[in-house]
A and B are shown apart, each in its own frame.
Chain A
Amino acid sequence: MPAFPLFRKQIALIALSSSWLIASNIASANEFHPLPMGLQDMQVPEVPGLLDGADPVIIDKEKAIILGKALFWDTNIGSDGMACGSCHFHAGADSRTKNQLSPGGKSTDISDQIFDDSLSGQSMGANHNLRAGDFPFHQRATPLDKNSAVIHDSDDVVSSAGPFTGQYHGSQRSQTSYDDCEWMDDPVFNVNLITTRQVQLRNTPTVINAIFNHRSFWDGRANNIFNGSSPWGDRDPEAGVWVKESARSVVKQRLRLINSSLASQALAPPLSSNEMSCKGRSFPDIGRKILSRQPLESQKVHYQDSVLGPLSYSDASQQLPGLQTTYARLIKQAFNPKYWSYRYRGPFGRPATGGLAYSQLEANFSMFFGLAIQMYESTLISDQSRFDLSARDEKGLPIDLTPSELNGLALFRENACVSCHTGPNFSLASIRANVEFNKLHPETFGIGSYRINPTPNVVNTTLFSSHNGFIDTGFAATGVTKDADDIGTGGVDIFGNPLSFSAQYLQFLVGNTSRVIDAEVRDVRPCDFQEAFAINFILPFPQDALFTPGDGVKPQTQSTENCFNIYTAYLPTEEAALAELESDHNTKMVHASNAAFKIPSLRNIELTGPYMHNGGMATLEEVIEFYTRGGNFNGPTKQSEKVFPLGALFNSEQNRKDLVAFLKTLTDDRVRYEKAPFDHPEIRVPHGHVGDVAEVEGGNPLSPALAKDEYLLIEAVGAHGRSKDDPLLPFDAYLAP
């Protein structure tokens, strides 16, 4: 028998520390699970230096929000009529049903990147009109039974139709809305060789409440830190903004605004060739195109628009397009002059397609665009759902809800839903907002052994299939699709770095600090991990997922104040970590990022279908079936302790209905009726092409070789919203039967 070194240690219990010891009137029988709460007290994480301090980036917040709302909805931003709002118009997401299919473009196996047949055996393809019978994209003979045979599985994705495929040659500064592009045939998106609009590769999430998320995009690649010119934060060595130092001097500086992942995110779609743009366009090019124009110059603005109304030409008798200003003027009103007032054009480069060298205003357009969009999106917070507005009893339960809805809430807490959909925004991805909210309402995160620690760590430990290991906080693999269909957070950025923060943390542990590119990875504090990773005492059993003194451990460098678990305030020595990482039987230095995606908020979920990263479930009922059977695939990174067959739902149809009823209480009626701040200008959104999946017509005004567009015209709505008989509906209401 091996001799274990003897350690004389004092080992105390995990005791409830007073910071999360809550009053006994909340702690009562059965309610130790995390308790979802209203969003009203959730604070937007601050962005130091943006609006505050001696030299803020934004000097007029109101103008910045006007600028952001206009940019968000303006179809002049895209090369061929796409705006942010073209895909984020329905409760912040996309409810279109025609030409919304993408053939599994994230699949590793190229041969999978074709359109599959639907569940009902129909051939699907470009310009397909989605039907209820096409869903779900993974189906079982008996949907509730985990052992039931798979009768259909597709790696197709319901996403958002974007631009035609084109190569950018230039654009006009006025009048012509479309860019000058060489339009190209698309080998995937065509019907009988007539090219159709491309469709993006992952389902479009909602922008509403996105301001609370630490990182953005399903794979987290929109960095928390905004660098001013790309989505990549500190990862991009070339990023920066131009700052005027004096009348004759301008320098490029690095920008580093934290809690700004929405600004980072906003810089991706306008340049993306399958979302909004022809290939080869830059942000200064977009700036040049729109700076002299009136915002929303061909889109009607409601005279009562809560942000844009005062600047519109409209009145009660008629709706007119445009705002009474220009983008250049709005930018100059909103932003610190040091970012736009340099008078000379020399240092900022010139367009690749030729023409005058860029001005500072054009050169920094990416920063103005990203931050303005973020300012607007930070107003899109839906904290007046029935769940939020309900009175609460002494246990914190929302008593205005019906018994069915309350049972749904109880099921939500008892069946592990709340262990990922945690906090007022129903997502662990709202990292810093959750940490702050915990100070006000610790019971939101549970009590005793049921507690989900609201940690500021961007990396956490978790239990996944047969392992403990690391996962980026706010991300999870739930087994919706096969790993090979979409690697999610397991992917890499354009510089070849892993998107996963957990992968970086492993490098940090072995001492490869040069591989740690996101600085906040270094701040990860081990004693706040949800599951133990390294301990300083001996256990009677060899451990396959814990570092112990037998391997080699050292104390954490950070203070132990308010540790979640004081006994895990350790990490492996670099030698121990490296030995394990390089071993053939590595079980401790592992992470679960492959096929992991950002945990979405559930607010307004009634309206934001289809669901999951692939849009493969059209109804909440299909989502509940998915979780009842414990997911679709049991891959190696699946969060098997949180996604597993649920007896309480398997055995009771009423329970399933009640859970859906609870989820529907999270809809804010202001979102449903597009009341302020969810009101918006008119937008004409491409919605399929004339014809169907078998045949389309050429002769699009852009080019005869392109299919003719059909459009969805979404009318301008003012602060009072849509009429009472015309609310936004759930996605499945728009499907063909």
Chain B
Amino acid sequence: MKKPIISILKSSFVVSSLALSCDALAALAVFPSGHLGDLDISTHQLTQAAANSDVQSYTSNPDLDSAAWGHLGSWWTFHTHMAKSTTITATGIGDIAPGFTVWRTDGLFDGGTGDAFEISTASKGVPHSFNQVGNPGDFGTIWMTDDSLSTAMPGQNGLAAQGILETIGYANDGPAQAQNGWGASIASDGNRNGIASLTFDSIMHGDYLIFVGGADGSLSGGTIDLAVSQVPVPGAVYLFGTAIFGLLASSRRRQAD
């Protein structure tokens, strides 16, 4: 049931101040499935077989208006020591179409903090449903946005102590979605070949988060293997320049072919 999306302007709803009534333990919203590893001089590839096996956890669940299903997709962290060309590939084994989003995080992602005010067009709250293609601070990501960043809600910072700092990119082997329950559309890589992949010329060193899942609920099922790899570079290269961020433009999403 599609309704016209009101653009998310800061003035369209008001929250005067946020009373963060936190207990000592964060209210964990999701938990990482695991840490893929650290990419450094000696380790150039991290792999995870069967990183996820749900056919509609990344997108394409009509009950969520195609938002991501936070409890059903899988969350994987990795760390890179160097700024270099990095490729992330999700490969479907069997009848499954993968999709994933990558974020840079403030330390290892702590799972975020659920909140009561992020509710999607399908009337589902976070993280059961969340905005898999939003920038940090967008509606549907506030629960996982780092507390150092301000958000779409005035006076409000992100809710995660170790949350997302920037959205690096996403890849979707499933069909395109006109809207994802949070006001954004999701493009498809168009080739439906069972592989979703992103390559960045260079990403800064630090911690990263991948959410991976299936992107086509009509398929019968399979598993998704995940791989993060960096091209080994001769040591001399490190003398030149600084890292180039593979940042996305704020209004467009860049996809690898």
Contacts and interface: CB of A to CB of B under 8 A. Distances in A.
Interface string B47-86: 0001011111000001100000011000000000000000
B31 A32 contact: yes
Given A18-B23, A641-B128, 18 more contacts: A4-B12, A4-B13, A8-B14, A9-B16, A10-B16, A13-B27, A13-B114, A16-B23, A145-B220, A449-B29, A450-B71, A466-B62, A468-B123, A540-B7, A543-B119, A640-B63, A647-B52, A647-B96
Nearest to A24: B25
A541 B4 CA distance: 8
Q: What is the predominant secondary structure among interface residues of chain A facing chain B?
A: loop
Given A541-B6, A567-B117, A651 B94 contact: yes
Interface in A30-50: 30, 32
A62 interface: no
Contacts of A4: 12-13
Contacts of A246: none
B123 A537 contact: no
B51 to A, nearest CB: 11
A484 interface: no
A587 interface: yes
Interface string B17-56: 1111111010111110100000000000000001011111
Nearest to A29: B31
Kindly list the 4 A-B residue pairs having the minimum CB-CB distance in the complex, ordered from nearest. Answer: A647-B53, A545-B123, A650-B221, A567-B116
B99 to A, nearest CB: 14
Nearest to B224: A647
Q: Is the interface of B mostly helix, strand, loop or mixed?
A: loop
A584 to B, nearest CB: 13
A560 to B, nearest CB: 13
A452 to B, nearest CB: 12
B239 interface: no
Interface of A: 1-2, 4, 6-16, 18, 21, 24, 27, 29-30, 32, 144-148, 447-450, 463, 465-466, 468, 531-532, 535, 537-546, 565-568, 587, 640-641, 644-645, 647-648, 650-651
Given A449-B28, A647-B223, A15 B22 contact: yes
A7 B114 contact: no
Nearest to A447: B28
B18 A532 contact: no
Contacts of B14: 6-9, 538
A353 B50 CA distance: 71
A133 to B, nearest CB: 25
27 contacts: A1-B7, A2-B6, A4-B12, A4-B13, A9-B15, A11-B116, A12-B20, A13-B20, A13-B22, A13-B116, A14-B116, A15-B27, A18-B23, A27-B25, A29-B31, A146-B220, A448-B114, A449-B71, A531-B124, A532-B123, A532-B125, A538-B14, A541-B3, A546-B119, A640-B63, A645-B54, A645-B220
Contacts of B183: 540-541
A150 B47 CA distance: 38
B223 A651 contact: yes
A468 B125 CA distance: 11
Nearest to A539: B119
A12 B119 CA distance: 15
B246 interface: no
Interface string B113-133: 111110111111111100000
A10 B18 contact: yes
Interface of B: 1, 3-8, 12-23, 25, 27-31, 33, 50, 52-56, 62-63, 70-71, 94, 96, 113-117, 119-128, 139, 159, 183, 214, 218-223
A7 B154 CA distance: 13
Contacts of A6: 14
A585 to B, nearest CB: 9
Contacts of A538: 12-14
A650 B96 CA distance: 12
Nearest to A468: B123
Contacts of B23: 15-16, 18, 21
Contacts of B119: 532, 535, 539, 543, 546
A11 B156 CA distance: 10
A4 B6 CA distance: 11
Contact of B3 (A145, A449, A544): A544
A526 to B, nearest CB: 13
A323 B223 CA distance: 63
Contacts of A545: 122-123
A449 B75 CA distance: 15
B222 A10 contact: no
Contacts of B114: 13-14, 448-449
Contacts of B3: 541-542, 544
Contact of A541 (B5, B25, B117, B218): B5
A407 B154 CA distance: 46
A653 to B, nearest CB: 13
A115 B62 CA distance: 37
Contact of B113 (A13, A465, A647): A13
Nearest to A545: B123
Contact of A12 (B4, B19, B218): B19
B53 A648 contact: yes
Contacts of B71: 449-450
- Give the most central of A6, A531, A651: most B CB within 10 Å: A651
Contacts of B5: 541
A532 B220 contact: no
A532 to B, nearest CB: 6
A24 B8 CA distance: 38
Contact of B27 (A14, A147, A468, A543): A14
Contacts of A587: 1
Contacts of A565: 116
Residue among A545, A568, A647 facing the most chain B CB atoms (10 A cut-off): A647
Given A10-B19, A647-B54, A647-B221, A16 B29 contact: no
A156 B13 CA distance: 54
A367 B139 CA distance: 58
B113 A641 contact: no
Given A546-B123, A647-B221, A537 B62 contact: no
A466 B121 CA distance: 11
Contacts of A447: 28
B27 A449 contact: yes
A145 B119 CA distance: 32
Contacts of B15: 9-11, 537
Given A463-B63, A537-B117, A540-B183, A11 B18 contact: yes
Contacts of B50: 651
Contacts of B7: 1, 540
B165 to A, nearest CB: 20
Nearest to B30: A449
Nearest to A543: B123
Given A466-B63, A540-B13, A13 B21 contact: yes
Contact of B221 (A7, A12, A27, A651): A651
Contacts of A641: 63, 128
A415 to B, nearest CB: 9
A112 to B, nearest CB: 30
Most buried by A among B18, B30, B31, B122: B31
